[in-house]
Amino acid sequence: MRNEARLGAVCRAMLLALACVLSLAPAAAAQEKIKVVATFSILADLVRNVGGDRVDVISLVGPNGDAHVYTPTPADARLVGAARLVVVNGLGFEGWISRLVTVSNSKAAVMVASRNVKARRDGGGHGHGHDDDPHAWQSVPNVMTYVANIRDALTAADPAGKAVYEANAAAYRDKLAALDAEIRAAVAQIPPERRRVITSHDSFGYFADTYGVAFVAPRGVSTEAQASARDVARIITQVKQQNIPAVFLENITDQRMMQRIAEETGARIGGGLISDALTDGAGVAPTYVDLMRHNVKQLAAALAK
Amino acid sequence: MSAVLEFRNLTLGYDRHPAVHHLNGKVDAGALLAVVGPNGAGKSTLFKGILGLIPPLSGGIDLAGLRQRDIAYLPQAADIDRSFPISLYDLVAMGLWRNAGLFGSISRADRTRIETALEAVGLTGFEQRAIGTLSPGQMQRVLFARLLLQDARMIVLDEPFNAVDAKTVSDLVALVQRWHGEKRTVIAALHDLDLVRNTFPDALLLAREPVAWGATQTVLTAENLLKARRMCEAFDEHADACRVDAA
Amino acid sequence: MFYDALIGPFAEFEFMRRALAGVVALAFGAGPVGVLLMLRRMSLMGDAMAHAILPGAALGFMVAGFNLFAMTLGGFIAGIVVAVLAGLVARTTQLREDASLAAFFIVSLALGVTLVSVRGTNVDLMHFLFGNVLALDNATLMLVAAITTISLLVFAVIWRPLVMECVDPAFLRTVSRAGGPVHMAFLALVVLNLVAGFQALGTLLSVGLMMLPAVAMRFWARDIAGMVGGAIAIAVASGLAGLLLSFHANLPAGPAIILVAGAFCLGSILLGRVGGYASRLIPRTHLEG
């Protein structure tokens, strides 16, 4: 009789211990988030959407930052060194990342988000100095590919979270599909002959290809500091001849020159288009979806009859 | 005769060293006064004091109702920028500044006055010459023409005939006499004692301190001239404060 | 073809007409100022003051962006302050005016560039340094026109004492007490015209439109009125030719204008009738009397 009672107590104790261990395990796993470093804010947003609570994402180039001219700091090297996964855009966008990874001696996996994305050739006059246009995120279908790539990379780095990543990615894909439909509907509202704009930063090529709005970049006026009269005359002629209805300003460029051109051609001056980075929390485009919505809204407003 | 200028225990100088020391006296209106003395005697300094260009170290100068603009002044070395692209005519025309003022354009009457002045100094036909092309004698004539136009009640000339040819000197002396005839007060610093004896009724012999002042022949005696020459030219670097003032 | 090359660009494009209007207005103000600066041996001071304007305009920019009023006011104040300070230092210390000015303007330039770089972009900085003559809006054109008008009016008033002050300052001092105020008024006009030129040509080039035509005319005119008229004409011609060069040869507009002015200058030194090299090397027979 006494032996049975002792065995029962031991069994209960063991069950209790097992229960404790089992309950602790997921807690332990939950405390350890996967450290991911994304090169810039748009990628960081995508990673957050796919990774959810399982990841701790840092963006090297912060909101409103310019990844083209970014120079990494020692703090960045530390971050990369501590990361499990580094997400880069690729297509020559971040010329500085490979060196940073080498310097930081990181054991992280480096993943190129734009893998399998059909790259378009850069139109020239952009100043990047390479052949592929890196701004693939301007087309929502491309971003769907990005998301799939990110999901796969996260799963590879953290197999335990596979179900979570797949679920998040699928949910986000739905959001993106809805966004894509939204954009197409908005563009459809614009009369076909009015679907072209001038903007100084040549980063909307993918948007143009996917959604059918032409982005004409004025050559020499924006990133170049000193315009010549011929450059300005050329743009004005172009706007007049091609009946381009709107001109878009951007922080990088010379606003007064844009205003002059708009006034002389009768084109509308549109609100700023955002191309390369999210805004901070207080701005109009804190997430990727917000960014695309903002741009489409501006375009639609400027190009409406 | 009323005094147009009075010096009261006047001391003028630079950096506390006196260049004119305790000068007292009166200049009557319409006087033709020569100021003579060795180099460094304080003649130029005295003129600058009269014009109000430097303040007295002690004592004072009374200008009986004369304002600075009623006095025409010819400094010893005219600090004129000869390379400036201005014509002789325009330089002379500056003398009319009081009439024309800041705004005024030159009226026909003014033009006539300018031409008359140029004639008086023998420079008719020189109107468009650039001032950089003039000889020293011609330059002095130009400056005298300007003085003529200033139409001033008192004219102060600091060594006007240095380095000027004899013909110019005699022509300009005639002008001085004309001014005297017009009852203007003329004070001139001169080196040429013969000229002074021939032309100037009054003289002041200055050797930092006044040596003699009065009718020319009583002033320009050998004895006075000797006294003046003995005046020390240099400032005394170890001088004490002047005791005459304290008295 | 003549029409296409010379008149066409201006007929067809409004921005070209505006640029030309701006430069013409500047020429009328800068002409007399430049001639007097040169004759008073103050040419480098003009350059120094142009740079001194930069930190003031930069401060205005930091406070209010590309706000014309803020930048103009800031630039004007900075210019006057440097002119006065430099003069003060020159008068009260053993430093002569040229060294004192050099010190001030180098510091001003560095300060100005720093301020602009903190708040603005590279493009902004380039506009501060080289101007933006192709983007003159209505407010800027009106500002330039207003400044030129004020400048000409003030000159009409102070012309005679100003000339007197150059030629025979001692005389002026004995007949009037206007010498000091006239000098200050002239300095204010210099700063004002530089501030006007700043928007179109930037801090590094605005003094060029002032000085280069004046220097060129030194070799053609013997009287000051001729110099002033000629300087204005050369400035206008430089603007015209510079804009056409920018249009046809694809050169940046502001520097093109100044290069043309420089060419006029060089040509005058070589070929001018009054003291140019050619006139010295190829003597003409003297006259009878």
- State pLDDT tens for residues C219-254: 999 889 999 999 999 999 999 999 999 999 989 889
Measure CB to CB from residue C66 to each of A226, A227, A256 and give the nearest one. A256
Predicted confidence band of residue A17 (pLDDT cuts 50, 70, 90) = low
B69 inside 8 A of chain C by CB: yes
* Contact flag B71-C174 (C-beta cutoff 8 Å): yes
Interface probe with B: pick from C171, C176, C182, most Cβ of B within 10 Å? C171
The pLDDT score that the predictor gives to residue C184 is: 85
C180 inside 8 A of chain B by CB: no
Rounded Cα distance between A261 and A235, Å, is 8
Boundary-marking domain end, from B137, B152, B167 = B152
The pLDDT score that the predictor gives to residue A223 is: 45
In this predicted structure, the answer to whether residue A251 has a pLDDT above a threshold of 50 is no
Q: Nearest chain C residue to B73 by CA: give it.
A: C174
Q: Chains that contact A by 3+ CB pairs under 8 Å?
A: C
What residues contact residue B59 under an 8 Å CB cut-off, 6+ apart?
B7, B8, B9, B10, B11, B22, B23
CA distance C87 to chain A (A): 35
What CATH number did the domain enclosing C54 receive?
Answer: 1.10.3470.10
Measure CB to CB from residue C175 to each of B75, B85, B97 and give the nearest one. B97
B66 inside 8 A of chain C by CB: no
B62 and B158, same domain (yes or no): yes
B51 and B113, same domain (yes or no): no
What ipTM describes this predicted complex? 0.81
Measure CB to CB from residue A229 to each of C14, C123, C243 and give the nearest one. C243
The pLDDT score that the predictor gives to residue B14 is: 85
CATH topology agreement for domains A30-182 and A189-303 = yes
C272 contacts C220 by C-beta, under 8 angstroms: yes
Measure CB to CB from residue A229 to each of C66, C247, C255 and give the nearest one. C247
Residue B192: closest CA among B214, B164, B232: B164
List the 213-252 stretch of C: residues with Cβ below 8 A of A: 243, 246-252
CA distance B171 to chain C (A): 23
Range among A226-240, B125-139, C18-32 rated most confident: C18-32
The pLDDT score that the predictor gives to residue A222 is: 44
Q: Could you list the residue range(s) of the whole structural domain that residue C245 is in?
A: 2-278
The three-state secondary structure class of A79 is helix
B103 inside 8 A of chain C by CB: yes
Q: Nearest chain C residue to A224 by CA: give it.
A: C123
Boundary-marking domain end, from B152, B182, B207 = B152
Q: Is B73 part of a structural domain of the chain?
A: no
Q: Nearest chain C residue to B53 by CA: give it.
A: C174
**In tens digits, what is the pLDDT along chain B, a chain of 247 residues?**
578 899 999 999 888 888 888 899 999 989 999 999 887 778 999 999 998 888 999 898 988 878 877 899 998 877 788 888 888 998 999 888 877 665 567 788 889 999 999 999 999 998 888 888 898 889 999 999 999 999 999 999 999 998 888 999 999 999 999 999 999 999 999 989 999 999 999 999 998 888 899 999 999 988 888 888 887 666 666 777 776 654 4
Rounded Cα distance between B213 and A69, Å, is 88
The pLDDT score that the predictor gives to residue B154 is: 94
Predicted confidence band of residue A24 (pLDDT cuts 50, 70, 90) = low
Rounded Cα distance between A24 and A41, Å, is 34
C221 inside 8 A of chain B by CB: yes
- Of A209-218, C43-52, C84-93, C187-196, the one with minimum mean pLDDT is C84-93
CATH, domain A30-182, list 3.40.50.1980, 3.40.190.80, 3.40.50.1970, 3.90.550.10: 3.40.50.1980
Residue B144: closest CA among B109, B170, B112: B170
Rounded Cα distance between A280 and A291, Å, is 11
B68 contacts on C by Cβ (under 8 Å):
174-175
In this predicted structure, the answer to whether residue C208 has a pLDDT above a threshold of 50 is yes
A127 inside 8 A of chain C by CB: no
C137 contacts on A by Cβ (under 8 Å):
256, 259-260
CA distance C199 to chain A (A): 11
Rounded Cα distance between B36 and C50, Å, is 52
Interchain contact B/C (3 or more Cβ pairs less than 8 Å): yes
Residue C14: closest CA among A229, A270, A219: A229
Q: Is C287 part of a structural domain of the chain?
A: no
Predicted confidence band of residue C1 (pLDDT cuts 50, 70, 90) = confident
Count of the separate structural domains present in chain B: 2
* Contact flag C158-B150 (C-beta cutoff 8 Å): no
- Residue ranges of the domains in chain A? 1-28, 30-182, 189-303
Q: Chains that contact C by 3+ CB pairs under 8 Å?
A: A, B
Helices C14-39 and A229-241: angle between axes, nearest 10 degrees: 160
The three-state secondary structure class of A222 is coil
Q: Is B247 part of a structural domain of the chain?
A: no
The CA-atom distances, in angstroms, between B183 and each of A119, B66, B178, B180, C252 are 103, 15, 9, 5, 70
In this predicted structure, the answer to whether residue C91 has a pLDDT above a threshold of 90 is no
* Contact flag C163-B150 (C-beta cutoff 8 Å): no
Measure CB to CB from residue B85 to each of C170, C176, C221 and give the nearest one. C221
Q: Is B13 part of a structural domain of the chain?
A: yes
With vertex at residue A246, the alpha carbon angle to CA A242 and CA A248, rounded to the nearest 5 degrees, is: 125
C160 contacts on B by Cβ (under 8 Å):
94, 97, 100, 102
- In 10 A of CB C260, how many CB atoms? 21
- Of A37-41, A192-196, B102-106, the one with minimum mean pLDDT is B102-106
- In 10 A of CB B177, how many CB atoms? 14
B142 and B172, same domain (yes or no): no
Q: Which CATH class is domain A189-303?
A: alpha beta
In this predicted structure, the answer to whether residue A210 has a pLDDT above a threshold of 90 is yes
Tokens, residue C244: 């056409």
In this predicted structure, the answer to whether residue A106 has a pLDDT above a threshold of 50 is yes
C246 contacts on A by Cβ (under 8 Å):
228-230
- In 10 A of CB B70, how many CB atoms? 16
Residue C81: closest CA among C104, C59, C62: C104
- Of A48-52, A120-124, B219-223, C77-81, the one with minimum mean pLDDT is A120-124
Predicted confidence band of residue C13 (pLDDT cuts 50, 70, 90) = very high
A264 contacts C16 by C-beta, under 8 angstroms: no
B53 contacts C174 by C-beta, under 8 angstroms: yes
B126 and B184, same domain (yes or no): no
Boundary-marking domain end, from B131, B152, B173 = B152
Count of the separate structural domains present in chain C: 1
Predicted confidence band of residue C141 (pLDDT cuts 50, 70, 90) = very high
What residues contact residue C146 under an 8 Å CB cut-off, 6+ apart?
none
The CA-atom distances, in angstroms, between A195 and each of A178, A247, A265, A276, B175 are 22, 12, 17, 22, 90
B164 and B131, same domain (yes or no): no
List, in sequence order, the alpha helices (H) in B38-121.
43-51, 88-93, 97-100, 108-120
User: For residues C92 and C110, which has the higher predicted lDDT (pLDDT)?
Assistant: C110
- Classify residue A49 as exposed, middle or buried by CB count within 10 Å of its CB (0-12, 13-18, 19+): buried
Q: Is C285 part of a structural domain of the chain?
A: no
CA distance A127 to chain C (A): 15
Predicted confidence band of residue C181 (pLDDT cuts 50, 70, 90) = confident
B163 and B225, same domain (yes or no): yes
Residue type at position A211: Y
B56 and B158, same domain (yes or no): yes
B201 and B223, same domain (yes or no): yes
Q: What is the pTM of this model?
A: 0.74
CA distance C181 to chain A (A): 39
Q: Is B243 part of a structural domain of the chain?
A: no
Tokens, residue A106: 């990181």
Residue C14: closest CA among C135, C128, C116: C135
Q: Nearest chain C residue to A223 by CA: give it.
A: C123
C255 inside 8 A of chain A by CB: yes
- Classify residue C91 as exposed, middle or buried by CB count within 10 Å of its CB (0-12, 13-18, 19+): exposed
The CA-atom distances, in angstroms, between C208 and each of A281, B23, C27, C48 are 47, 56, 11, 12
The CA-atom distances, in angstroms, between B154 and each of B91, B92, B190, C239 are 21, 18, 17, 53
User: For residues C205 and B201, which has the higher predicted lDDT (pLDDT)?
Assistant: B201
The phi, psi pair for B20, rounded to 5°, reads -125, 125
Measure CB to CB from residue C137 to each of A236, A252, A256 and give the nearest one. A256
* Contact flag B86-C223 (C-beta cutoff 8 Å): yes
Q: Chains that contact B by 3+ CB pairs under 8 Å?
A: C
Rounded Cα distance between A238 and A38, Å, is 39
Rounded Cα distance between A130 and A91, Å, is 9
Q: Could you list the residue range(s) of the whole structural domain that residue B92 is in?
A: 81-152
In this predicted structure, the answer to whether residue A130 has a pLDDT above a threshold of 60 is no
Rounded Cα distance between A202 and C231, Å, is 44
Interface probe with B: pick from C174, C182, C186, C274, most Cβ of B within 10 Å? C174
Q: Is B245 part of a structural domain of the chain?
A: no
